Structures are given as C-alpha cells and as structure tokens.
Homo-oligomer: A and B are copies of this chain.
Amino acid sequence: MPQSKAPPTYNDLMSLDRQVCFGLYAASNLVIRQYRPLLAELGLTFPQYLVMLVLWESEPQTVSAIGERLHLDSGTLTPLLKRLETNGFVVRRRDDTDERRVLISLTTHGHTLRAPARQITETFREGVSFSAAETETLASSLAQLISALEH
C-alpha cells in the first residue's frame, strides 16, 4: 500500500541540514572572496574589515567587547589587532583603571578609511544580482540561526 503523504524521512532532514552546513560554509567563503580584492586596496583583510566596522560604530573598545560582537576569542583577535596596529589602523593601550584590559582605538588613518569602505559595499552590491528583498530574507534567517546558536 503506497504512502501518499509521508513525513520527511531521516534522509530528507539530513540532506537539508547538509545544504545549510555546506551552504553557510560555501556562501561565507564566496562572500569573503568577493570582498578580498576590494578590501586589499584599503590594506584590509575581511576579518580585519569586520573589526573596523565594530570600531567605526564605537571606540575605544576592549578586546573582549570586540570578541563578543564578532564571536571571536583572544587567540584570533590579539594577533589580528597587532597587525592592524602595525599597519597604522588602530592603537592598543592598557586601561589605566584596570590593567587587565586593552583598549583599541582608531588612528586618524583608521577613521579616514570609513568613507572608501562605504564605496566597497556599493561595489559589492553591484557585482551580485541579489535584490534588497532577498537580502532581507537572508539577513533575517541568519539572525534567527545565530541567536539559536548563541546560547
């Protein structure tokens, strides 16, 4: 006797999960790859760009505050921030009131990159045929998934 309306099988669910796992991985890498040559003109890598976005919003910020925002730990951020400092984008200094903290601030050079960085966002949008509505759907799904994974 044929089943005309079975619930999703074990395999269906697994292949859907695979699509999400693989899709996130591939899409993230593809987006980073698109940004790379644009950001290279400013002397930034993609993770460095994300740190700059956080600092353009507000500064100074501690290493751990940046880490919470980007879901990265000190093992990743410390060397990245040192490279940003070496390249003249940020300054690292100990907090006088709590010597455990390191405050990250922007240099003048770091501030001036904000405008050209906006142009990069535009260039990226133009290179990808993805409507504002599709972008919104994706952003919303991602926000839901992130909050489900954050604990």
Return the 9 tightest CB-CB contacts between A and B, nearest first.
Answer: A23-B142, A28-B28, A138-B141, A30-B149, A19-B139, A24-B28, A14-B121, A17-B121, A26-B71
Instruction: State whether A24 and B24 are in contact (beta carbons under 8 Å apart), knowing that A10-B118, A128-B148 are contacts in the complex.
Output: yes
Query: Are B141 and A137 in contact, with the CB atoms below 8 A?
Result: yes
Number of copies of chain A assembled together: 2
In the assembled complex, the CB of A67 is this many whole angstroms from the nearest CB of chain B, namely 12
Ordered by A's residue number, 14 sampled pairs between the chains whose C-beta atoms are within 8 Å are A16-B132, A17-B135, A20-B139, A20-B142, A21-B31, A22-B70, A27-B142, A33-B149, A34-B149, A128-B145, A129-B148, A130-B144, A130-B145, A138-B145
In this complex, the interface size class of chain A, counting residues with CB under 8 Å from chain B, is 35 or more
Within 8 A of B (CB), among A27-55: 27-35, 46-47, 50, 53
User: Using Cβ atoms and an 8 Å threshold, which residues of chain B touch A16?
Assistant: 132, 135-136, 139
